[in-house]
Chains A and B, each alone.
Chain A
């Protein structure tokens, strides 16, 4: 087992355990905090996949912004932890079945696909490649993303603002 594999399995464990806690934890704060290792694990995977720029953004936005936002809201709404009330709804068994089925389905199908060979090696410094991509074919996506952010923020502020 080489280092890559070792790193992969460690990160995978981190992601999955974190994810499980996010999903299972009765204490919502715990759940939110568990997001951090999960998202960081995913960031680690990005490193393994040579996606350094994505890793950076993942850590910045996800871990830095989203998780904090979520925690905020939990603290604002459910009396900090949400422990007072039942967190799980009545469709657990069904959900388990559906999710299990879906995962098995994904495995059954995806593991049989003869995934296409790479058209070449990754470019040496891929933040640059990402940048080129963003500026050349995906300039429109880039610009639209900024519009989306603008619209979301404006709307979120209007909605979230407490009115007199």
Chain B
């Protein structure tokens, strides 16, 4: 029987992977992809919890839908910023974008 723990283990692994991607990538777009994985992990949790804890009000579904929408918005905004930055800085590698530090 596949229970809640299964989903939790899976989501935590997905979350960890996403975070790992965020932490190790130089490319901003790649970092964004890691973030998407993290958001998906959260969504898996939300949906799983809906089934196992809160089936009546399906709030988890609502949350997942909201997060998916937000992910889309983030992607739009983020990619716009990245493209614009690329035009002026001619790189999308985060460690080469370092006018600001110290």
> Footprint of B on A, CB under 8 Å?
2, 4-5, 8, 12, 15-16, 19-20, 22-23, 28, 31-32, 35, 38-39, 42, 45-46, 48-51, 53-54, 57-58, 61-62, 65-66, 69-70, 72-74, 76-78, 82, 85-89, 91-92, 94-96, 98-100, 102-103, 106-107, 110-111, 115-116, 118-123, 126, 129-130, 133-134, 137-138, 141, 145, 148-149, 152-153, 155-157, 159-160, 162
Contact = CB atoms under 8 A, between A and B. Distances in A.
Contacts of A153: 73, 76
Assign chain B's interface to a size class: 35 or more
Interface of B, secondary structure class, is: helix
27 contacts: A19-B37, A32-B33, A35-B36, A38-B37, A42-B14, A48-B2, A49-B7, A49-B50, A51-B51, A62-B36, A69-B76, A69-B79, A87-B26, A87-B30, A89-B25, A99-B19, A115-B52, A118-B52, A122-B50, A122-B55, A129-B57, A130-B62, A130-B65, A133-B59, A145-B66, A149-B73, A156-B80
B56 A42 contact: no
A118 B23 contact: no
Interface string B24-65: 111101101110110010011001101111111111011011
Nearest to B4: A115
B58 A73 contact: no
